[in-house]
Structures are given as structure tokens and as C-alpha cells.
Structure 1
């Protein structure tokens, strides 16, 4: 039962990464794209870590995976904040070309 639950969580994580990648390619503006990528990072990697935790008997490796997940969440939050501010500033400076 634990193996099937772990595999299910891994598949859910992969689906979140797939949805985030499609959102990155399909959404029209920078803010929608950032939203898609951040959700894929947070939820996708979270499901993968939980799935691997069910498949991994060593609790020290599970703690290491949790640490990596936390660092990815922290770096993703900071980088998306900076990219969002840059996108907002570029949008404010944009002027329509004269005809």
C-alpha cells in the first residue's frame, strides 16, 4: 500500500510540473507565467518529496529531501518576487509606438 501511495504522489508531482510547464508556454503575460511556475515548483516538488519519503526507509534522507524542498521554495519565492517587480517596472515604462 505504501508503494502505491508513493507512486501516486510521484505521478501527481509530475503532473503539476507538466501543468506548470504548459502554463509557462501558454499564458499571455509574465505574471500568469510566474504564477504557473511557482505553483509547479511548490506543489510539484512537494508531492515528489512526499512520494519519495514513502518509498525511502531512511529517515535521514527524508530530512535531506525536506531541506532541499525548503531551499527550493525559498529561492523560488525570492526569484519570482524579483522577476515580478522587474515585469511590473517594464510594464510601467512601456509606451505605445507613435504612428
Structure 2
């Protein structure tokens, strides 16, 4: 087994581990907010790790720098966390309840500030 195969295998195994942990989190966690966190963070790192292993493999074995894989890594890095954020915000705006074990509601504080700004804007327009 060559060093390239070892490094590539390491990244693929680490990526598979993170995707597996993400799948367990989607099944075991209690509410939509923690589930989207598990799905967004772990699977993003898992997919990026597998793609990075593929970049290393093709670069060393074929001497080909695969720019499409780099673009895929960047695309996943930028879109998956934003998708999880959008799902969480829409769930919060439709009053999906937090789990009883949740100790902080940071989004609620931010949403209250946004509502106050909207009220002040409407008052100033009148």
C-alpha cells in the first residue's frame, strides 16, 4: 500500500465517519433544530473530506488537478450550512417548539430585535 493510498483512505474513512455520525444524529436527536445542526455540520465536513481525498488521489496517481472537485468542495462548504440555517429559521418562524432540554434561545433574541426594528421603521414612516 502506497502513501497516496493511505492518505486517500484516511480522508475517505474520516468523511464516511462524519456522514455516519450525521445519520445517527438525524435519528437520535430530539428536535428539528438539533437535527438540522447534525445534518448540516457533520455531513458538510464528511463530504468535503471525501472530495479532498479524491483530489489527492487524482493529483498523485494521474497528475491531474481536478478543478471540478475543488468547486464541489467550495459549493458544499457554502451551501449546506446556509440550507441548515434557512430550515432552522423557517421552523422557528412557524413556531416549531424547542426541546425541553434546550437551555438557550439565541434566535429568539435576534428575532425580537428584528421585530423592534420593523416597528420603529413603521412608526417613523407614519
Which TM-score bucket, shorter chain as reference? Answer: 0.7 to 0.9
Structure-1 separation of matches of 2:32 and 2:90: 10
TM-score for the superposition, normalised by structure 1 = 0.81
Larger proportion of helix:
1
Which one has a bigger Cα radius of gyration?
Answer: 2
Selected match of 2:45 from 22, 43, 46: 43
Check 1:84–1:2 CA distance in 2 against 1; reply closer, same or farther (3 A cut).
Answer: same
User: Higher relative contact order at CA 8 Å, sep ≥6: structure 1 or structure 2?
Assistant: 1
- 1:58-73 to 2 correspondences below 5 Å: 58-59=64-65, 61=66, 63-73=67-77
Match of residue 97 from structure 1: none
Match of residue 24 from structure 1: 26
Unaligned runs of 5+ in 2: 98-126
CA contact (8 A) 2:15 2:45 kept: yes
Unaligned runs of 5+ in 1: 94-99
Check 1:13–1:81 CA distance in 2 against 1; reply closer, same or farther (3 A cut).
Answer: same
Q: How big is the alpha-carbon RMSD for the aligned residues of Structure 1 and Structure 2? A: 1.7
Structure-1 separation of matches of 2:78 and 2:92: 21
Match of residue 35 from structure 2: 33
